[in-house]
Structure 1
Amino acid sequence: MAQNLATAIGLPVTHREVPLDYVRTSADLAAMLPIDTVLTDGWADRPAPGLLTLTPGGRRRLTDVAARVDAFRELSMAGISLEEYRTTVRTLERMSHKLEMATSPSH
C-alpha cells in the first residue's frame, strides 16, 4: 500500500526508500519536516545517509492506519452513490475556489 501511494503521488520509491535529494521546493521541504517525528516515534529508520525506510513497527502501524481509513470511508459512504459523491466533491471544490478568490490579496 505505501508503495502504491508513493507511486500515485509521483515519489521515486525503491524497496520503500525515498531519496532525500527528491526535495526540490520549499513545499517538498515542508512535507519532510515531520521526518524527525517518524524517526523518534519508531515509524522509520535511516538505513543510510539520505534514505528512509519503514521499520517493521512502522509497517504494522501504517497497515492499521490504512484499515481505519478504509473503515471510515466505508461508513461515511454508506448509502451514497458514486454520482452523489462526485457532485458533492465538485460543489465543495467550487465553494472553496470562490472563497480563495474572495480572500486572496490580489482580489
Structure 2
Amino acid sequence: MRCRIPETTLREALAAGATYAAIARAHGDDPAAVRARCVALDLSRSRTQGRIPPEPVLRVALAMDGVSVARLARAWGCHPDALSRAARRLGLPTDPVGRAALRGGR
C-alpha cells in the first residue's frame, strides 16, 4: 500500500512533532507506508534529535541510582541506543554493575 499524503502535509506534520503512526492514523494510512514515503522524500526524522551530553555530564548521569538509560535519553531528547553508543565510545558503563561502580568511584 502506497502512502498518498501530500509532501507539504507530511512536512508540516513532522515539523509539528507528529510521529509516523500519528500521521498515518490521521489520514487513514499505514505507518510503514508513511515512513517509507518520508524517507523517499528525504523528510525522515533523525533518531538522535536531541544532543548527547558531554562526557563529564554523561558520567554523572549514568552514576545516578534508579535512573534508567531510557529515561536519561528521553531527558536529552535522543534515542536510548544513541546514548548507549556514546557511553560505550567514551568507555562509560551502561550495565547495572558498571553503573554501580561509577557510583562507588571505583
- Pair in the same fold by TM > 0.5: no
Q: Which has the higher contact order (CA 8 A, sep 6+)?
A: 2
What TM-score does the superposition give when structure 2 sets the normalisation length? Answer: 0.22
